[in-house]
Amino acid sequence: MSLNDETLEALKADLLEAFSDEGPNKEAFVERLSEIRSADIGEILEALIEEDDALSTTIGVLDLLSDERAANVLGYLPGDNQLDVVGKLPDGQVLTLLEEMSSDERADLFNLLGDDRREALLRRMAHREREDLKRLASYEEGTAGAIMTSDYVAIASGMTVSQALMRVRQTAPDAETVYQLYILAGDGQLIGTMSLRQLMVARPGALVDDIMIKDVISTAVDQVQEDVARIVARYDLIALPVIDSDNRMVGIVTHDDAMDVAESEATEDIHKGMSIGALESGISRVPLWSLYRKRVLWLVLLVFANLFSGAGIAYFEDTIALEVALVFFLPLLIGSGGNAGAQAATLMVRGMATGDVGVKDWGRMLGRELLVAGALGITMAVAVTPIGIMRGGEAVAMIVALSMVTIVLFGSLIGMCLPFVLERFKVDPATASAPLVTTLIDASGVVIYFSIASAILAGA
């Protein structure tokens, strides 16, 4: 069973006690730690650093663990905490930890270090390790290269099944996954793949080239990470091989890393939907200054966009003076349009992000939205009509009901179309955020409402 919150809290308390000056022997804690999973120790340490700034305790705990275990736990900490810890350790110990980390986590941590530290560490590494690390650390963040690992099982073309099985056994401790094997030609080109399952049931003397799948699903090293995650999800892969521009294999992205990418991309999309820029870490730990910067840009832009609504109201001052009861319904009408429009935009943006909706579907989506938004507008108009009659009589009720249908329909269509328009102009459709859509519809709503009012009042 995985640990629940209470167990984690209890463990943290025990750990703090074990490391306090008058506490029992730290060594008594070793056995207890051995029963806890690295992911859970990571979470406890993260909470410790966050709440109590207990960096020395964290390092004490890492010292109690084997090198491999310590590297594993370190890998579960957020980047800035990894940096805090590594900053307190001598080069030799950092080197050991780096060696034990998986190659993708190693490269991530390495990229966070200062130039001096990097140079010092690189000098002490073996040539091959150094080149591998420099290569992995060089890929741009957010690409396949940055999330891949070079610890995979490569099988040379021409091997027999039993030779390949031997190779799997030899590389088992180091590879991130041994369950998918990649067959490489002499020049490193990826020419086929097979699952360990296939290998195990094959005749030992057969050549891997004869049983491998030649049509390999792979991705380019500079592919954006959300596409990488989508390919892994679509084809239910355990790992996706990454190739360079010459079709040479350079690494794999494993299913667990793809799942992490999918989660962080979903978070980014949710935040974008509210006009918040991509945060570099979770909301509980992102620096306040960064959080301010990621929220302020659109908020200020929308202040100015909202001026149009005000200008609309000012323009129709005479209409308002004719029938003051109209102002009562203003927030309700533009609010309703904004809500319906934000719904429509959100549905399209998410549909595009998951691949459910493409630009080619625009026409069909428009037709569907027309029907649904029409029905929604009529329903809401019916709901608001009695209040219109009570508050301002039949003329006002008619104005409000008619405006409701028009604004909800118009707002929904704006909200639905905006993501397509943005996509068409190569802007991220997620820019069609709820605040932006709502603000656009507010301004249009004012104009629609008072135009309808002017017409009906003039006719009356």
The answer to whether 156 touches 208, Cβ cutoff 8 Å, is: no
Q: Is 276 near its own copies (CB under 8 A)?
A: yes
Say how far apart CA 30 and CA 87 lie, in whole Å.
Answer: 24
Residues 347-376 that bind its own copies (CB under 8 A): 347-348, 350-351, 354, 356-358, 360-361, 364-365, 368, 371-372, 375-376
Nearest CA-CA partner of 329 in 398, 415, 414: 398
Beta strands in 22-117 (DSSP E): none
The residue among 141, 154, 172 whose CA lies nearest residue 208 is: 154
Which residues inside 15-34 make contact with its own copies, applying CB under 8 A? Answer: none
Considering only residues 392-451, where is the footprint of its own copies by CB under 8 A?
434-435, 438-439, 442-443, 446
Reading the block at residue 137, the tokens are 């650390």
Specify the 3-state DSSP secondary structure of 252. Answer: strand
d(CA 135, CA 224): 18
Considering the complex, state which of residue 113 and residue 439 has its C-beta at the smaller distance from its own copies. 439
> What is the distance of C-alpha 183 from the center of its chain?
32
Amino acid of residue 420: F
Binds its own copies (CB under 8 A): choice among 33, 332, 389, 457: 332
Q: How far is the CB of 54 from its own copies (least distance, A)?
A: 16
For its own copies, give the closer residue by CB, 121 or 441: 441
Q: Which is nearer to its own copies, 94 or 334 (CB)?
A: 334
Residues contacting residue 135 through CB under 8 Å, at least 6 positions apart:
150, 250
Residue 119 C-beta: closest distance to its own copies, Å: 32
- Binder of its own copies out of 329, 362, 449, 450 (CB under 8 A): 329
277 binding its own copies? (CB under 8 A) = no
Size, binding site for its own copies by CB under 8 A: 110
Asked if residue 343 binds its own copies (CB under 8 A), the reply is: yes
Taking the CB of residue 167, how many other CB atoms lie within 10 A of it? 19
In whole angstroms, give the CA distance from residue 273 to residue 419.
Answer: 11
Return d(Cα 42, Cα 235) in angstroms, integer: 31
Name the minimum Å distance from CB 439 to its own copies. 6
Binding segment for its own copies (CB under 8 A), chosen from 23-31, 126-134, 186-194, 226-234, is 226-234
Shortest separation between residue 233's beta carbon and its own copies, angstroms: 5
- Euclidean distance between CA atoms 69 and 127, whole angstroms: 25
Q: Could you say which of 44, 121, 242, 342 contacts its own copies (CB under 8 A)? A: 342
Of 410, 141, 437, 446, residue with least CA distance to 298: 437
Q: For its own copies, which residue of 331, 366, 386, 393 counts as binding (CB under 8 A)?
A: 331
Please state, in angstroms and rounded to a whole number, the distance separating the CA atoms of residues 333 and 44: 50
Q: What residues between 171 and 190 interact with its own copies by CB under 8 A?
A: 172-173, 178-179
User: Is residue 271 within the footprint of its own copies (CB under 8 A)?
Assistant: yes
In the set 125, 159, 262, 447, which binds its own copies (CB under 8 A)? 262
Neighbouring-strand partners of residue 253: 240
* Region 289-328 residues binding its own copies, contact defined as CB under 8 A: 291-292, 295-296, 298-300, 302-304, 306-307, 309-311, 313-314, 317, 324, 327-328
Nearer residue to its own copies within complex by CB, 122 or 179: 179
